[in-house]
Amino acid sequence: MIADRVQLPRLTLAWLTPRHFEPGDAALDIVADVLAGGKNSRLYKRLVYELQIAQDVSAFQESMDLSSDFQIVATPRPGHTIDEVQKVIDEEVAKLQKEGPSAHEVERSLNQIEASFYNRMERLGGFGGKADQINGYFSKTGDPDYFNEDLGRYRALSSSDVRAAAEAFLPRDRRVELTVQPEK
């Protein structure tokens, strides 16, 4: 736990995960989207809408060259605690590990990922545009035209692949838990 000059506490859960383009990397992008990718995601619906114990929640797979990390970050609403929020997060991660996402959740995530792929390729310059994508593919794979193969990694995923990635890479006993609390 860290105390800092913040208004509300914040919880960050983080796991070491496979590096970019390694098995499990793409599936963890879908895990992140199913858990906290928008207002229809599992954690957002439970924490923010139904229980109203969190102000916000996000999840992401930060894919990097040597190692990656998966993070879930949540801010409790005033009057609620980190423990309340963490309990719900643990329940939803465990449920995903046991049952996997629905076909609809996987399809929704894949549609968002595919749209993001095409949006990045539409921009010629600037950060994350086509030039950056081509350069990134060349430096990581040796093939500047790796777009279809990269997108294919996601299209090939099934609900069971996503469940297996959540189970393999997000065990409760192999994560870092960071809590930032307001200074007294």
Mean pLDDT of 155-176: 98
The closest of 75, 77, 67 to 17, measured between CA atoms, is 67
Tell me if 129 sits within 8 A of 120, measured CB to CB: yes
Phi and psi, residue 181, nearest 5°: -110, 150
Sort strands 2-4 and 10-17 into parallel, antiparallel or unpaired: unpaired
Question: Tens of pLDDT along 45-77?
Answer: 999 999 999 999 999 999 999 999 999 999 999
- The structure's pTM equals 0.93
Question: Strand order of the sheet with strand 54-62?
Answer: 2-4, 176-182, 10-17, 68-76, 54-62
Which pLDDT value is given to residue 9?
94
Mean pLDDT of 77-85: 96
- Parse the chain into domains and list their residue ranges: 2-182
Residues 6+ apart with CB under 8 A from 24: 17, 18, 165, 168, 169
Which pLDDT value is given to residue 64?
94
What is the topology classification, in CATH, of domain 2-182? Cytochrome Bc1 Complex; Chain A, domain 1 (3.30.830)
Which pLDDT value is given to residue 134?
86
Residues 6+ apart with CB under 8 A from 152: none
Which pLDDT value is given to residue 126?
63
Calpha distance 81→74 (Å, rounded)? 11
Question: Tens of pLDDT along 2-38?
Answer: 878 878 899 999 999 999 999 999 999 999 999 999 9
Question: Tens of pLDDT along 101-143?
Answer: 999 999 999 999 999 888 877 766 666 678 888 888 898 889 9
Instruction: Please count the CA atoms within 13 angstroms of the CA of 98 that sit on its side-chain side.
Output: 6
Which pLDDT value is given to residue 42?
98
Which pLDDT value is given to residue 36?
98
